[in-house]
Amino acid sequence: MLKIEHVDVLFLESDTPGDKKEREHLAGINLCKDMICKYFGDEDPKFLLNDFGKPFVDKEGIFFNISHSKGRVACAVSDRPVGIDIEKLTEKSDTDIKNFAKRYFVENEIALLEKEEYSALAFYKIWTKKEAYSKMLGSALSRNLKIDTTTLDIDTYVEGAYILSVAVNKI
């Protein structure tokens, strides 16, 4: 079972960048609690942290992950380990994408970017997959940067100005 939901967060004009992150964080926790209640029947989930700082629920068989980006929060809940990443689509120059790709992407991913003419959408598809996969594993992104996302079965969705990828342990 995999369920994905998102909410938009309203900011006040007076909100600082820190205020915005805090609002997104709280919205993510509330969305996650609501989804765990709705899909697993647990009305008061207890959140703990693993060795990598990834939060988890103290009940077996309940997995979740939260991501937020510039006013939108997304949550995935599942009966298997899950990772989610959401990014707001913003324009990036070919040069910025090429430089970033040289440092963090593998050969197949760079070939895909070339085929897609270094579009921002192609870049974000790869990046959100890397993030979602790392979060599913519960480890630091830096440990998984050289994973070839072109060989992984990770779903990606585009809705308006946002792109979202979800990785679920299928074993």
Is the Cβ–Cβ distance between 3 and 66 less than 8 Å? Answer: no
Strands 55-57 and 47-49: antiparallel
Out of 1-15, 20-34, 72-86, 131-145, pick the least confident.
131-145
Sign of the four-CA dihedral 102, 68, 136, 119? negative
Is the Cβ–Cβ distance between 9 and 73 less than 8 Å? Answer: yes
Q: Which domains occur in the chain, in start order?
A: 2-86 (3.90.470.20), 88-155 (no CATH)
* Other CB atoms within 10 Å distance of the CB of residue 149: 24
pLDDT digits (tens, 9 = 90+) for 116-129: 888 899 999 999 99
Counts for the chain of helices (H) and strands (E), in that order: 4, 8
Averaged over 91-117, what is the pLDDT? 90
